[in-house]
């Protein structure tokens, strides 16, 4: 007679599900024991006076800034590692470890204060450039104004110099004209004196007083005009207006008797026209 032992299905499932848990619990218990022992050793060292030496101070890094405007980099959030829960299976193989995806290092965010400082430095640089341009423009305008003022002063000085020279020339011309006029007057006077000396009368006869004029007590003047020839004799005598008829004949007769010294020009005797002589008839 054979005896058969029948197991219930629920007990079989419990045995299969507890076997993997028993196998994984042992390594975790060992790790927990080691961790507790390590913490107990560290605690004993701290109680005994052991201290950790402070780390050496690092040299501060020097940041050299350059005037470059960069847009702020977008913040990339770190992806959370995906956790995959393994469903309990009746299989005896352990679940494979889940490897998290590599996370890219996040770019450092731009410091707002540093960005503001760069903006301020850029504004200051632009202001210095604009101030320098304004100074250069003002200097150019000042130099141009000075050149215009110098040109104006030079033109005024040149005009004054020309006016002075013109006044001096006019004064010199007036002086020259005055000198020439005086010279001509002197020459004319000398010529007149020479001419008067050249045909001065050498002899003049007094005209006879007409008897009829004496009887009638008539007095008057009679002017005779004539020419003196190169021989010093009178030619073409004539009586001018205003002479009394009684005095015409004796005046012409007396003029024909006049003798003059001939006029000499360039060593030759010449005639002298329009010579006048006035006879005055008076009863004494």
Superfamily of domain 201-281: TonB (3.30.2420.10)
Q: What is the pLDDT of residue 7?
A: 46
Tell me what percent of the residues of the chain surpass a pLDDT of 70: 65
Tokens 């341009």 map to which residue? 133
Hey, which of 5-9, 148-152, 259-263 has the most confident mean pLDDT? 148-152
Q: Place 6 in a pLDDT band, splitting at 50, 70 and 90.
A: very low
Each residue's pLDDT tens digit, 206-226: 888 989 988 889 899 999 999
Which pair of structure tokens corresponds to residue 94?
Answer: 């352990």
Each residue's pLDDT tens digit, 47-91: 776 555 555 556 666 666 666 666 665 565 555 555 445 445 445
Measured CA to CA, the distance from residue 178 to residue 201 in angstroms comes to 35
Q: Place 40 in a pLDDT band, splitting at 50, 70 and 90.
A: confident
Burial 154-187 (b: 16+ CB within 10 A, else e): eeeeeeeeeeeeeeeeeeeeeeeeeeeeeeeeee
Q: Place 10 in a pLDDT band, splitting at 50, 70 and 90.
A: very low
Measured CA to CA, the distance from residue 64 to residue 114 in angstroms comes to 12
Q: What is the pLDDT of residue 195?
A: 53
Contact 99, 45 (CB under 8 A): no
Q: Place 260 in a pLDDT band, splitting at 50, 70 and 90.
A: confident
Spatial neighbors of 20 by CB under 8 A, at least 6 apart, are: 92, 94
Measured CA to CA, the distance from residue 204 to residue 154 in angstroms comes to 76
């Amino acid at each position: 007679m054979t005896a058969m032992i029948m197991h219930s299905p629920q007990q079989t499932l419990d045995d299969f599900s507890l076997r993997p848990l028993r196998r994984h619990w042992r390594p975790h218990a060992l790790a927990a024991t080691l961790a507790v022992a390590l913490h107990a050793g560290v605690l004993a060292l701290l109680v005994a006076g052991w201290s950790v030496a402070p780390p050496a101070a690092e040299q501060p890094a020097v940041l050299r800034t350059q005037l470059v405007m960069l847009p702020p980099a977008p913040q990339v959030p770190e992806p959370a590692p995906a956790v995959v829960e393994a469903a309990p299976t009746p299989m005896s193989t352990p679940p494979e470890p889940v490897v998290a995806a590599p996370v890219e290092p996040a770019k450092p965010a731009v410091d707002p204060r540093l960005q503001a400082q760069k903006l301020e430095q850029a504004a200051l640089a632009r202001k210095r450039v604009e101030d320098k341009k304004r100074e250069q423009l003002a200097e150019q305008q000042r130099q141009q104004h000075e050149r215009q003022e110098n040109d104006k002063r030079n033109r005024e000085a040149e005009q004054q110099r020309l006016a002075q020279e013109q006044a001096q020339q006019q004064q010199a011309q007036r002086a020259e004209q005055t000198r020439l006029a005086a010279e001509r007057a002197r020459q004319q006077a000398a010529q007149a004196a020479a001419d008067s000396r050249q045909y001065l009368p050498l002899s003049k006869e007094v005209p006879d007083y007409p008897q009829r004029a004496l009887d009638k007590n008539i007095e008057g003047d009679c002017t005779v005009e004539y020419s003196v020839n190169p021989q010093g004799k009178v030619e073409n005598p004539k009586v001018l207006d205003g002479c009394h008829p009684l005095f015409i004949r004796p005046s012409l007769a007396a003029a024909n008797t006049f003798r003059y010294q001939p006029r000499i020009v360039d060593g030759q005797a010449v005639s002298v026209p329009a010579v006048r002589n006035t006879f005055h008839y008076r009863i004494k």
